[in-house]
Amino acid sequence: MHETLSPSETRDMLLAVAEYIVERTDMLTQIDQAIGDGDHGIGMRRGFLAVSEQLQGSEPASVEAVVKAAGTAIMAKTGGAAGAIFGTFFRSGSSAFAGRNFDADGVAAFLRIGLEAVEKRGGSRPGQKTMIDALAPAAAAAADAAGGGLSETLARACAAAVAGVEATKGMIATTGKARTLGERSLGHPDPGAVSFSLILTAMRDFVAT
């Protein structure tokens, strides 16, 4: 169990996240087939393979730099809405780690700043059936957990994200390619929300071991 990660440990965590996402390509694609255009898994795979390629064997100068590098790789290679959204999340969120390691307060700030940037970039708010519906509750939970240490913060953020994914099943999409689906989007989770919860799950698992 780690309560703070060094730059190179953060790199290893991001590599673990990348592996976790890439392994779930088909599942993410299937979720997008239900309510989107069926390419979400393919895109996330491209983006996180680029993260692996970028970070593998590199010696990061800081946590901020390595998180930003991951965001840059995602933004360049994922494509689609997910590339802009997850790229923006990591790139903007990375500023939370300016001058610090990957710790509980940093994670809370990371989620908060990332959320603000994503909302600004895409113009969406909670309740529109996007990854924000996993990210916003995760950010709130992390803020709540402040002082509780890194593993607890990530565990609570992750649980909130998973609950957020569940909640997206009851939402009608009003943005993205599922927008015009109307009522027919009911019952299906949002693909980007699932991806976000997987990212936190992989982070939580990395820190817990």
Partner 1 sequence: MGRPKKILNNPANVVTELLDGLVLAADGGLVRLDNRSVLVRPNIPKGKVGLIIGGGSGHEPLFSGFVGDNLADAAVCGEVFAAPSPDQILDAIAAVDSGAGVLFVYGNYAGDNMNFDIAAELAEEEGHTVRTVRVWDDVAAAPLDRITDRRGIAGDFFVIKVAGAAAATWSDLDEVYRVACKARDNTRSMGVALAAGSIPETGERTFELPDDEIEIGMGAHGEPGVSRQKLTTADDIADQLMQLILADLPFKAGDEVALLLNNLGSTTLMEMLIVNRRVRNILAEAGITVHRTDIGSFLTCQEMAGMSISLMRLDDELKRFLDAPARSVGYSKA
Ligand X SMILES: Nc1ncnc2c1ncn2[C@@H]1O[C@H](COP(=O)(O)OP(=O)(O)O)[C@@H](O)[C@H]1O
Contact residues: ligand X, CB under 6 A: 32, 36-37, 39-40, 43, 80-82, 85, 118, 122-124, 130-132, 175-177, 190-193
Minimum CB–partner distance for residue 23 and Mg ion (Å): 19
Interface mask toward partner 1 for 4-33; x: CB under 8 A: -------------------------x---x
Applying CB under 5 A, does 40 fall inside the site for Mg ion?
A: yes
Residue carrying the six token digits 């976000």: 196
Q: Which two tokens stand for residue 3?
A: 């309560």
Q: Which of 37, 120, 125, 208 binds Mg ion (CB under 5 A)?
A: 37
Give the contacts of 20 (CB within 8 A, at least 6 positions apart). Answer: 198, 199, 201, 202, 205
Applying CB under 8 A, does 113 fall inside the site for partner 1?
A: no
Q: Give the 3-state secondary structure of residue 45.
A: helix
Residue carrying the six token digits 């998180």: 67
Q: Which two tokens stand for residue 71?
A: 């965001």
Q: Point out which span in 2-10, 16-24, 36-44, 140-148 binds Mg ion (CB under 5 A).
A: 36-44
β partners of residue 5:
102
Measure Cα distances from 106 to 34, 85, 100, 149, 183 in Å.
Answer: 36, 20, 8, 11, 39
Applying CB under 5 A, does 80 fall inside the site for Mg ion?
A: yes
Closer to ligand X by Cβ: residue 113 or 131: 131
Residues that bind partner 1 (CB under 8 A): 29, 33, 36-39, 42-43, 46, 75-85, 87-88, 121-122, 175-182, 184
